[in-house]
Amino acid sequence: MNKNALFYLALLTGLLFLAQSLLNDYYQRVLAVVFINIILTVSLNLTNGFAGDFSLGHAAFMSIGAYLSAILTLPPASKATLMPQLPTWLGQLELPFVVATILGGLLAASVAAVVGVPVLRLRGHYLAVATLGLMVIVRVVAINWTTITRGAKGINGLPAFTNLWWVFGWAVVTVYVIWRLVNSPYGRAMMAIREDATAAAARGVNVTAHRMLAFCVGAFFAGIAGALWGHLITAITPHSFSFLITFNVVVMLVVGGMGSISGSIVGATVMTLVPEFLRRVETSLSLGGHPLYGLSQIIIAVTITLVMIFRRRGLLGGREVQLPSLFDRRRAAPRARIETTG
Amino acid sequence: MKRVLSLTLLLCLLFSLAPFGRALAAEPIKIGGMYNVTGGMSSIDAPGLNGMKLAAKQINEAGGLLGRPVEIVAIDGKTDQTAVTNAVSEMINVHKVVAIGGLNDSTYALAAGPIAQAAGIPFVTAGATLPTLPEQIGDYFFMTPFGDDAQAYAIAEFAVNDLKAKTAWLLVDQAYDFTTALAAFFKERFTALGGEIVLEDKYQSGDTDFSAQIARLKALSPQPDVLFVSAIPNEAGITTKQIREAGLTQPILSGDGFDTPLIGEVAGENADDVYYSTHASLDNPDPKVQNFVKAYKEEYGVAPENAFAALGYDMMMQMADAIKRAGSVDPKAIRDALAETKDFQGVTGVISYESGKRVPNKSVTIIRVQDGVYSFVKEIVPSAMPAAPTGEPIKIGGMYNVTGGMSSIDAPGLNGMKLAAKQINEAGGLLGRPVEIVAIDGKTDQTAVTNAVSEMINVHKVVAIGGLNDSTYALAAGPIAQAAGIPFVTAGATLPTLPEQIGDYFFMTPFGDDAQAYAIAEFAVNDLKAKTAWLLVDQAYDFTTALAAFFKERFTALGGEIVLEDKYQSGDTDFSAQIARLKALSPQPDVLFVSAIPNEAGITTKQIREAGLTQPILSGDGFDTPLIGEVAGENADDVYYSTHASLDNPDPKVQNFVKAYKEEYGVAPENAFAALGYDMMMQMADAIKRAGSVDPKAIRDALAETKDFQGVTGVISYESGKRVPNKSVTIIRVQDGVYSFVKEITPQ
């Protein structure tokens, strides 16, 4: 962490203070969703952008994180009425939000490890299919393990712990961890695997271990995001974490540009805010007295298509944004370009 | 002035002595009595002040207000605008009155009102009848009498309904706002009731010769049925006299400008068949009126001179009622309590300020003059004419998933809600303000739904939110509204525990799943004479598992037996295993209960019938979908399901809704959720009306008190603190693919 990064962090913190005092609940809520999506996109980027695998497991990991953290933070009194069949020790347990969140992330990472051991030995689209399968498995478990998950009913009445500071803090942690990882020998190894796994293996890189690392770290943060999401919406059901969520995160990733952390941040921010504000446009516009519901989805679909035609590598094209340096006299040395294979 | 001064001095003395005497312990509540007791207005203002003082005396004899005596600070306005304004200012600034009442003429009310308004002191006019006064002056101004519109409507309704008049002649004094407005209102209602104004003639106040106008009237052929004379007291007698002397015998009608002894005095025995509208009749046998007349006689030795004495009395009593309800003498609190005046029983009628108006919707007294004798005919409450709603719209959130998986039931729901809002606005809006639906698409996505609810509350500042037909989304949306203290009424989510789970700002328009399951179980036992049942339950939804459990509970309680309970997962398409197990049963169960969501309604029916099973198939509102007919075709036979409403229900409420929906959207309501959306909005409007305010807390409280609300989908009452209505359940039968209404059941 250099002075420059600290300065921008302080600036963001200041802006957040300002946002909290000036913006009403609605804008704060949208901002919270932005940060959750940043966590999801940046963490998916590690697997999909840097390690070159294609995971579709984020919804499943979110689901795991959300369910575990919900069970851990629910007050025992609520648990007694909602989930009377819970084992006594679990029914009595009430953990602080941050602990529950981390445990949610860890469970998601452990599940990722279990899935990853067999699957990550294979190359190609196996991971995409396997993670898709994982999503179905997680949902079926959530529906049928009624003593713990309340089945299809879902868990509601979660304490609304998630606020701007939690999501901002976790987003900063996510970005920092992934940035450090990517710019470490591990990250270089991941990128080498992405470009040519055989060549990387020939240079002594443990391909499976590095792919596992990327997959599990990504899953950890997806679990964190799930916990934050659950405590923002306050109601989770097995159907909450559908393919649609994974798809949205993939879109944010692709729009921002795979293999770029700043691209993920831009993608997540743009793809959260634009639909939100387009929705207000569609409410105010009308055709023959009928509001144009669904217009925002069409505009977004068309925009994504256009981005894919004209900027196939996303808005940032796999590059990182360099924030102007304020403390170093000399221009920051241009970082090695991180190119993607698209 | 000297007397006022000495009175003030005396009061000061009393105050200084107050701590020493128990009887005088309480400081009096000072109320301004603003009347023109001298000058041109004195003949009606002096009795008004007498009435007010009589009321104050009675209040004090009954223990005062909030344990304190009432003191009337009466200052003469001298029928002079400057003197009136000075007097009002003196009352407020020198005597520190907490409220002011009085004045029987709009001109003076318009001078006095703004001073009280600026000082934040409530002003209640006892007798000024210009209906726009409260609007012109401000929110601290109230009227005890009806507006001129009301009395003109009443006399017009009397002319048409009682005198069977079809045509009318109008004579209008052009010199007064009062007379021209009265004539315009009469014309409006008379023609609206099918009458015709054959000639409208005019004169100027002060005219004494009406021969030209009467000649034009006599030339009419055929003669009009009634003659409406819009005059002030000055011309009441002379016009009557000249019309009758010209040999015209039709009834003469007018407003309270005719409430003067001049008719009898000037026209003498020609004062025949004259009818006018006014505030009260001393002949009215109502004990309230007779008690007042008696007390007035005892106090002043004469009968009340005119209706303005009664109005002064009512004004004071109404103010006392407001202070009692306010529990405080803070002018703001008194104002708020005055604004909430409801069913105040006055001598001159019942006073309620409805829909935020500060003009009461009061009964109008009709008086007949015959041979110079005045007698009470009847009281009429004119049907209110809807005024076009004005002002800031009342924003209500319309939270529906109009795109995505829920759209097929949510889009009709929103249409129903919008139709209701349109009808409300056409009928004059809510509290005189238009309703605006802030509809934001929830996209069948929990994040989008919660964002939308938050946007409605924080950006659009809605006062209440309604919508959503699924418990999953209601559970996401409800807590946000609950936390913000905004009432949320779900139009179609039927999980009966929702209000408990979410909180006290959450209400349900539909019945709960328990009610519909009980109803169909009762129907099975009582109407289909079923003794055994087979259960097929979708395990994927709370709705389906709960419905099956409730059905089972009631069916067995009624002596039935569940012979087999089988299950599947939503999304399954092959039910052959379950049906095979069913076919293996011997004896066969009497009825088959399928607890499914719309997706599987058609396919289960089809496969059961194709397997050769002919027992009645029962279900809940998950079967309320065209899919049964579409998928099962002619196999859709002997299927019964419970739902919220049937479009075939001959009840006029239902048929009017269906007709209005067709007119608005070109199609019949797609399903019961359209009706539920409509009911939800109407129920909310009902609560806002009763709350008399758009404060979310007040709306919540009014919603919680919903009672006997007549909706398209049934009668909604929240009993014993529950926020799930105890509603009737509609049973529908599908036969040869045709859906028809069977009956309504209110489950026990």
Q: What is the per-residue pLDDT for B315?
A: 94
Query: What count of other Cβ atoms lies within 10 Å of the Cβ of residue A239?
Result: 17
CATH superfamily of this structure's domain B394-511+669-699: Response regulator (3.40.50.2300)
For residue A267, tell me if it sits in a domain: no
Task: Centre a 10 Å sphere on the Cβ of residue A108 and count the other Cβ atoms it contains.
Answer: 32
Angle formed by the axes of helices A295-310 and A261-284, to 10°? 150
- Extract the tokens encoding A302: 């068309």
Q: How many residues does chain A have?
A: 342
Q: How many whole angstroms separate alpha carbon B228 and alpha carbon B166?
A: 13
What total number of domains does chain A contain? 1
Identify all chain A residues contacting B484, using CB atoms and an 8 Å cutoff.
Answer: 25
The pLDDT value recorded for residue B22 is 39
Q: Are strands B349-351 and B344-346 parallel, antiparallel or unpaired?
A: antiparallel
Residue intervals in chain B for CATH 3.40.50.2300: 2-146+285-353, 149-278, 394-511+669-699, 513-643+732-745
pLDDT of residue A291: 63
Segments of chain A with pLDDT less than 50 = 329-342
pLDDT of res. A337? 47
| Pairwise CB contact (< 8 Å): B441 & A279 | yes
Low-confidence stretches of chain B (pLDDT < 70) are 1-25, 176-177, 384-390
Chain A residues with CB under 8 Å of a chain B CB are 24-27, 29-30, 33, 143-144, 151-154, 156-157, 160, 229, 232-235, 237, 239-240, 244, 276, 279-280, 282-283, 291, 293-294, 297
Query: What pLDDT is recorded for position B17?
Result: 43
CA distance B287 to B300: 20
| CB of B85 less than 8 A from some CB of A | no
State whether A235 and B451 contact (CB < 8 Å).
Answer: no
Q: What pLDDT score does B121 carry?
A: 94
A74 is a domain residue: yes
- Partner residue facing A26 (CB), from B454, B479, B541: B454
Residues of B in contact with A295 (CB under 8 A): none
Of B476, B540, B541, the CB nearest to A233: B476
Q: Which CATH superfamily is domain B149-278 in?
A: Response regulator (3.40.50.2300)
Q: Can you give the pLDDT at residue B390?
A: 66
What whole-number distance in Å separates Cα of residue A108 and Cα of residue A188?
Answer: 25
Gap between the Cα atoms of B716 and B705, Å rounded: 10
Asked if B479 and A234 come within 8 Å (Cβ–Cβ), the reply is yes
**Among partner residues A156, A160, A232, which is closest to B475 by beta-carbon distance?**
A156
Q: Which residues of chain B have a CB within 8 Å of the CB of A29?
A: 450-451, 454
In terms of Cα–Cα distance, which of B336, B205, B168, B198 is closest to B692?
A: B336
Q: Which of B402, B447, B476 faces A293 most closely, judged by CB atoms? A: B402
Q: To the nearest whole angstrom, how far is the Cα of B564 from the nearest Cα of chain A?
A: 21
Q: Which residue has the tokens 């991941």?
A: A190
Query: Cα(B557)–Cα(B290) distance, rounded to whole angstroms?
Result: 60
Whether B541 sits inside 8 A of A293 (CB atoms) is no
pLDDT given for residue A41 in this prediction = 96
| pLDDT at residue number B389 | 62
Residue of A151, A237, A293 with shortest CB distance to B441: A293
Contact list, B475 vs chain A (CB under 8 Å): 154, 156, 235
In CATH, B2-146+285-353 is 3.40.50.2300: yes
Cβ neighbour number for residue B183 with a 10 Å cutoff: 26
Q: How many CB pairs under 8 A join A and B?
A: 82
- CA-nearest residue to B484 within chain A is A25
The answer to whether A160 contacts B483, with C-beta atoms less than 8 Å apart, is yes
- How high is the pLDDT of residue B34? 92
pLDDT of residue B264: 80
DSSP string, B504-565: TTEEESSPPHHHHHHHHHHHHHHTS---EEEEEEETT-HHHHHHHHHHHHHHHHTT-EEEEE
* Complex ipTM value: 0.74
Q: Do A157 and B459 touch (CB under 8 A)?
A: no
Please check whether residue A314 lies inside any domain of the structure.
Answer: no
CA B660 to CA B669: how far, in whole Å? Answer: 10
- pLDDT tens-digit profile of B238-259? 899 999 999 999 999 999 888 8
H helices present in B193-274, as ranges: 211-218, 233-245, 262
Cβ neighbours around B350 below 10 Å, total = 15
State the residue range of the domain holding A231. Answer: 24-242
Q: Quick one: pLDDT at residue B540?
A: 75
Q: How far is B482 from chain A (nearest CA, A)?
A: 11
pLDDT in tens, B337-365: 999 888 888 898 888 887 778 888 788 88
Eight-class DSSP state of B385: P
Q: Which chain A residue shows the shortest CA-CA distance from B415? A: A290
Any residues with CB less than 8 A from the CB of B718 and at least 6 apart, and which? B507, B703, B704, B705, B706, B707, B724, B725
| List of chain A residues whose C-beta atoms are within 8 Å of the C-beta of residue B454 | 25-26, 29-30
Q: What is the pLDDT of residue A334?
A: 46
Question: A302 to chain B, minimum CA–CA distance in Å?
Answer: 17
Nearest in space to B620 (alpha carbons), one of B566, B554, B552, B544:
B544
Q: Does domain B513-643+732-745 have CATH number 3.40.190.10?
A: no
Per the CB < 8 Å rule, is B446 touching A233?
Answer: yes
Secondary structure in 3-state letters for B471-482: HHHHHHHHHHHH
